[in-house]
Structure 1
Amino acid sequence: MNNAKPVISLPIEPGFLALRGLSPTQLRFGIEYRLGRGTTSNSFLFLPHNQSQTLLVHPPGYSFSEPYTKELNKILKLAGLNKNSIIYLVIGNVNPNRIMYLHELVDLWPNIILITSNPGAQLLTALWDKHRPNLGKVTDISSKTSVTLPKMEIVKTEEVRELSFGHRIRLIPTATPRWPEGLMVFEESTGLLMSGKFFASHICTEVFAETNRLSTEEDRRYFYDCLMAPMARQVNTIVERVEELDIRSIAPTHGPVISESWRSLLSDYRRWSETQERSKIKIGLLFASAYGNTAIIADALAQGISRTKVQVEILNCEFASSTQMLDVIHKSDALLIGSPTLGGHAPTPILTALGAILSEGNRDKPIGIFGSYGWSGEAIDLLQTKLTDGGFTFAFDPIRIKFSPTPAMIKTIEETGVALARRLQNAQNKQERLISAKFNDSKDSSAMLALGRVVGPLCILTVSKGEGVDQVNGAMVASWVSQASFNPPGFTVAVAKDRSVETLLHIGDRFVINILAKSREIALMKQFLQPFEPGINRFTGLNLEKTPKGQLLIPEALAWLESIVCQRMECNDHWVIYAQVEHGGLLDDQSTTAVHQRRSGANY
């Protein structure tokens, strides 16, 4: 059943308006939605004037179909259009959900013409009548409407079109491994860049533009880390092209328009991408994804890897050349390959990639297999058998997901990516993470020895997010904890970027600091300092209690503080979290706090 979501129209200039679909909850399982702030789906409509074209940029997916169709029909009819009118649709992102809605639009407006990139045309042709598995059921897209794929105009290189009311748009192909079909639209008179997935954030808001940079900064960084970091090289190339445009504001497909801070955001994208590219270690990630589920697994692996500052090169095999595949295979320190199962088989592009790995791959480098399937997963079995027979060593047990991964599965997959990256880092240089960039001579330098005398309490940070099957728990030993404010009462805690718990500590998230007691800390320290395999329950054997807000409390602790994340500050290899205390208690008023004494400031 289609759950209606409100759609509002926002005028930009005469003959030019935005249509924004509002969703206070996430649209699907995907790591980029995990902050839980809903999303928007932004499209842009140029109305006709004096025989000019009617053009709709970036229409939404089927999730918004009912209210969107109602609003669009009202606007088009007021503009004098009828069922026989020609309407141009710029398609910058192709997926089954969007194709389902295109079927509906074409049924209502038969003379639609699609404007898309060459990879976009390939995807539209391949997916137009495909069956789509969904949570154990099969949705036949073609049963929704019996329409044929409309005429397409393919944008191979940048081109300019004249529209109504003096508007002039530039169509800019922006192919990336994650979205080879990418197509940005720049309106020259307003300086508005309709950027598609680039510069997006998942926030549900009716306001047309951001209030200020701080209002969206965390959300845009999170979106970048989830989906852009694994293709940093291509992202940098596109940012360089965008910087050449006479921009006044940026309107992504998701989130508010960026009108005040777009210059700093472009600078941030460039800086984040350059940081990712500086890594000496590289993991190649090859995949194909028919319905988006295998892509979610790839995204989760890539995000886990990139949190360790290891470079990950992601490649969509459906649109990659043999030269690109071989380049990734030869230059990577580890390879990951993921495939859906379609009709009991792996798709042809994956078979091509598998052949290249078997003929050119280094058997001394680890390889990982992942994939999604609807019924039996033969593609994953094929990859495992061929690579085993080929003498490859596996980085982890094959990741097999039926249909879509749950939040708990996504967290486990991320931890798998982190674990692989850490192993490669340790093998290359065990001291790399221990040496301060400021003091290159020795970790035993006077300054580092002095820094080690900064002490903190020994604590266990525990966090729980979500409910039922969507619940995800996390924990870590924390010793870099310090009170930061009196009114309101608050403190800071430093969390390494490659900690899996870091993804559960964003603004608005709650957690508990369990402060340990001197002479009773050893057992709990052993519990949480031991290495955990991805997906293992860190709380096994503990009798946990619940705080007033439902967080996890360790009753053996000396004291506890239930807090809410208010700010995050990036500090090179750590995030410093500032949290305000909501509840707390002293569990033992006779003992004293266990303190962590260090010999050097170069390590924990």
Structure 2
Amino acid sequence: MLQTRPRDVQVAEIAQDTWILRSRTWDRLKFETEYARQKGTTANSYLIQAEKSALFDPPGGSFTDIFLKELHDHQYFQKLDYLILGHVNSNRIETIKRLLEIAPQITIVCSRPAANSLKAAFSNQPLNINPVRGEEVLDLGKGHELQFAFTPTPRWVDGLCTYDPATRILYTDKFFGAHVCDDAIFDENWKQLDDDRHYYFDCLHAAQSKQVEDAIDKMARFRPKWYAVGHGPIVRYSLSRLKLEYLEWCEQQENQELSVALLYTSAYGNTATVAHAIAKGLTDAEIKVELINCELVDPSEITAAIEQCDGFVIGSPTLGGHAPTQMQTALGLVLSTASKTKIAGVFGSYGWSGEAIDLLEGRLQDAGFAFGFDTIRVKFTPSEEVLQHCEAAGAEFAQALKKMKKIRAPRQGAVEAQTDRTEQAIGRVVGSLCVVTANQGETPFGILTSWVSQATFNPPGITVALPKDRAEGVLDHPEIPFVLNILKEGRNVRRTFLKATAPGENRFAELSTDHASNGCPILLDALAYLECKIENRMDCGDHWLLYATIENGKVLEPTGVTAVQHRKTASAY
């Protein structure tokens, strides 16, 4: 049960030149799903006071007055040089405005999308903004040379994490937190936080697990000993465990049998709030959700998501009587790509009219799509009751999806049932996730596979099975060299090789690579690699089976764990 205590700000020195300011409430604070456990919350801000000073992430409007009073009264907070923002939202703008009135000299450090949001919010006021991409270093003196990682997600498109090598603290903003409120600054009793942390992940991150994995991958270049989180206790005693749990929870989402692509844009945050509530209903029903903010992705990513999903939900605000351009583009891609067997859903928010919602609904109805829930229309800010309805709609969509799958499943006789059981059994054969790299003329070639096995001791050799349609013209005769890159668990190199690429696009452009002695690319983020040469190739139906001898090899990360591919059936990778 919640305590009846006034809101306050808890201040403590946590490391060299570093303080935490925990704005606390024992109330629920908001009606969004992530606060539903009703254990209160903390909005954590941090301050580094070295030769120059930097304040991280001031709280939202609920705490503005008490936070600024504490900041003004505290003897160490006489001058602020930098304001570092992990993300920007309308709630935080109020505190930023008041802070700039007190300290107009502040330079704001944030991501480029956050800088654009600030310029729009402060259109009549000049701001001193230093947008960062991730390669910059901000030197506060005394060893506090801050480094940055741009970590966007559909929910926080402007996400930025900051690392201080002097204290080895990684300021993670929305990652690794929990909505609880007590006096513990650190997570000494971390076992008691398990349920709250998992619930926080399910509410905020389950529907964007792909981007969460990408963010964790970007954070891997740092070596933190603490996570300075935006909510709840600082992660000090359970850092490795919590990081592993996040990766496991992401993997659980990705391994769900049925999937939904949830497409949206949001002008003022209301459409996004509705999208997240629908996503929560879907993930609670064990449906994988790919949350796609159409303002952030290329059309090719939308097309790929629609092709791969079992159903889709699309939502839009109405601006000037129209859907934003991004949503009109997304609708066109859906209509040209999606099979009519897929279940659809439509939602949106509006102020005075809802033409965009009518457009989405009408075009999908005319195209013959079945709907998984009644179209959701939200005027202005969604209430608690509306968000509960949206969650229920997500659960309703999930049931429709599962029912449709059963209806469309072919009735099988005894032989077919035996085939299914056989495929399931074969699917239990697991393999190491690897990327085969070679040269296709002057262009590097790479293909993801888990069908790899050691074949011989002397000479050392392996077998690799590759689909014919992917490997033809590259690895097609003896003596051809290639590199087998064995991937590391917890890194997202595999995503690069799962994405569709445009003709001529260099799949390796964003990867760290080197060249093996046989001239083929080495993925430096791999766990290990083997330099191989094809000795023989066998025609095996829809695959080529390559036997290759190993000429050289190296372990790149001795303490890493091999990434493994688990399958539920032998009928798919």
TM tier relative to shorter chain: 0.5 to 0.7
* TM-superposed deviation, 1:4: 8.2
2:22 aligned with 1:20: yes
Compared with structure 1, are the counterparts of its residues 430 and 275 closer, same or farther at alpha carbon in structure 2 (3 Å cutoff)? farther
Contact 2:323 2:356 in 1 (8 A): yes
Deviations 1:485-512 (A, max 9, x none): xxxxxxxxxxxxxxxxxxxxxxxxxxxx
Task: Supply the distance in 2 between the matched residues of 1:325 and 1:316 (Cα, whole angstroms).
Answer: 10
User: Which AA in structure 2 matches 1:57?
Assistant: F
Instruction: Give the 5 Å matches for 1:370-519.
Output: 370-429=347-406
In structure 2, distance between residues paired with 1:381 and 1:299: 21
**What are the Cα deviations for residues 56-99 of structure 1, in whole angstroms up to 9, with x where unaligned?**
11222122110111112234x64553xxxx62111111111112
Alignment match, 2:288: 311
Q: Deviations over 1:169-197 (max 9, x none)?
A: 22111111111211111222322221110
Question: Out of 34, 37, 41, which is 2:36 matched to?
Answer: 34
Q: How does 1:302-341 map to 2 (within 5 A)?
A: 302-341=279-318
Give the alignment partner of residue 43 of structure 1, picking from 37, 41, 45.
Answer: 45
Deviation at 1:18, TM superposition (A): 1.0
2: CA distance, partners of 1:128 / 1:206: 36
Paired with 1:115 and 1:358, the residues of 2 have a C-alpha distance of 41
Check the 8 A contact 2:119/2:127 in 1, yes or no. Answer: no
Distance in 1 separating the partners of 2:315 and 2:287: 19
Partner of 2:59 in structure 1?
A: 60
Structure 1 equivalent of residue 72 of structure 2: 73
Match of 2:112 among 114, 118, 125: 118
For residues 418-451 of structure 1, what are the alpha-carbon distances to aligned partners after superposition, in whole Å with 9 as ceiling and x for unaligned? 222233234335899xxxxxxx98999xxxxxxx
For 1:153 and 1:41, the matched residues in 2 are separated by 24
Give 1:398 shift: 0.6
Local SS of the residue matching 2:370: coil
Residues 287 and 315, structure 1, Cα contact 8 Å, conserved in 2: yes
- 1:243 Cα deviation from its structure 2 partner: 4.3
Q: Determine helix, strand or coil for the equivalent of 2:336.
A: helix
Separation (CA, whole Å) in 2 of partners of 1:317 and 1:27: 30
**1:31/1:296 contact within 8 Å kept:** no
Among residues 124, 137, 153, which one is paired with 1:160 in the alignment?
137
Residue identity opposite 1:101 in structure 2: T
Residue matched to 1:512:
none
Task: State how far apart, in whole Å, the 2-side matches of 1:428 and 1:392 are.
Answer: 15
Q: In the alignment, does 2:204 pair up with 1:227?
A: yes
Relative to 1, partners in 2 of residues 1:122 and 1:319: Cα closer, same or farther, differing over 3 Å?
A: farther
The 8 Å contact of residues 64 and 94 in structure 2, kept in 1 or not, is answered as no
Say if 2:100 is the partner of 1:106. Answer: yes
1:277 & 1:78 partners in 2: Cα distance?
47
Task: Kindly provide the amino acid, as one letter, of the partner of residue 68 in structure 2.
Answer: T
User: Which of 280, 286, 301 does residue 257 from structure 2 map onto?
Assistant: 280
Q: Does 1:362 align with 2:339?
A: yes
Give 3-state SS (helix, strand or coil) of 2:371's partner. Answer: coil
In 1, Cα distance between equivalents of 2:29 and 2:355: 29
Counterpart residue number, 2:424? none
Q: Deviations over 1:395-434 (max 9, x none)?
A: 22111223333434333322221222233234335899xx
Q: Structure 1 residues 60 and 331, CA, compared in 2 at 3 Å: closer, same or farther?
A: same
Aligned partner letter, 1:28: K
Q: Is there any run of 5+ residues in structure 2 with no aligned partner, and where?
A: 410-416, 422-573
TM-score (norm 1): 0.63
The alignment's C-alpha RMSD in Å is 2.7
Please say if 1:91 is aligned against 2:85. Answer: yes
Q: Is the 8 A contact 1:20 1:42 kept in 2?
A: yes
Query: Which whole-Å CA distance do the structure 1 matches of 2:281 and 2:246 have between them?
Result: 19
Task: Map residues 481-560 of structure 1 onto 2, 5 A cutoff.
Answer: none
Structure 2: how far apart are the matches of 1:114 and 1:233?
A: 29
- Please give the TM-score of this superposition, normalised by the length of structure 2: 0.66
Secondary structure in 1 matching 2:205: helix
Aligned to 2:216: 239
Aligned to 1:10: 12
Kindly provide the amino acid, as one letter, of the partner of residue 58 in structure 2. Answer: P
CA contact (8 A) 1:29 1:405 kept: no
Q: How far apart, CA to CA, are the structure 1 residues paired with 2:50 and 2:220?
A: 30
Deviations 1:462-481 (A, max 9, x none): xxxxxxxxxxxxxxxxxxxx
Q: Which moved more, 1:295-304 or 1:375-384?
A: 375-384
Q: 1:154: Cα distance to partner?
A: 1.5
Amino acid at match of 2:112: N
Identity of aligned residues (%): 37
Match in the other structure for 1:584: none
Cα displacement string for residues 297-348 of structure 1 (whole angstroms, at most 9, x for unaligned residues)? 2112111211232211001122222222222222222111112234443333
Task: Count residues with an aligned counterpart.
Answer: 410
Match of 1:213 among 183, 190, 198: 190
Alpha-carbon contact 1:326-1:360 (below 8 Å) kept: yes
- Quote the offset at 1:216 in angstroms: 1.3
Q: Distance in 1 between matches of 2:320 and 2:99?
A: 29
Q: Does the 8 Å CA contact 2:134/2:147 hold for their aligned counterparts?
A: no
Spell out the pairing of 1:344-363 with structure 2 (5 A cutoff).
Answer: 344-363=321-340
- Counterpart amino acid of 1:173? F
Alpha-carbon spacing, 1:189–1:48, altered in 2? closer, same or farther (3 Å): closer
Runs of 4+, deviation exceeding 4 Å: 77-80, 429-432, 440-444
Q: 1:155 to 1:38 in 2, by over 3 A?
A: same
Residue 149 of structure 2 contacts residue 218 of structure 2 at CA under 8 Å; is this kept in 1? Answer: no
Change (3 A) 1:80 1:414: closer
Aligned position for 1:176: 153
Post-superposition Cα deviations, 1:28-78, rounded to whole Å, max 9, x if no partner, equal 2211111111111111111242xxx32111222122110111112234x64
Local SS of the residue matching 1:165: coil
**Contact 1:159–1:172 (CA<8 Å) still a contact in 2?**
no
Distance in 1 between residues matched to 2:113 and 2:224, nearest whole Å = 26
Conserved 8 A contact 2:302-2:330: yes
2:277 maps to what in 1? Answer: 300
- For the structure 1 residues 212 and 347, does the alpha-carbon distance in structure 2 shift closer, same or farther, using more than 3 Å as the test? same
Q: Which moved more, 1:245-254 or 1:401-410?
A: 401-410
Residue in 1 that maps onto 2:164: 187
Quickly say closer, same or farther: Cα 1:377–1:64, change in 2 above 3 A. same
Q: Per-residue displacement from partner, 1:340-371 (whole Å, max 9, x unpaired)? A: 23444333322332233233333332211112
Partner secondary structure for residue 401 of structure 2 = helix
Q: SS at the partner of 1:186? A: strand
Gap change, CA 1:261 and 1:412, over 3 Å in 2: same
The aligned amino acid for 1:156 is R
When structure 1 is superposed on structure 2, of 89-98 and 340-349 the one drifting more is 340-349
Call closer, same or farther: CA 1:381–1:4 in 2, change over 3 Å: farther
Preserved CA contact (<8 Å) 1:178 1:315: no
Q: Would the aligned equivalents of 1:106 and 1:150 in 2 still touch at CA under 8 Å?
A: no
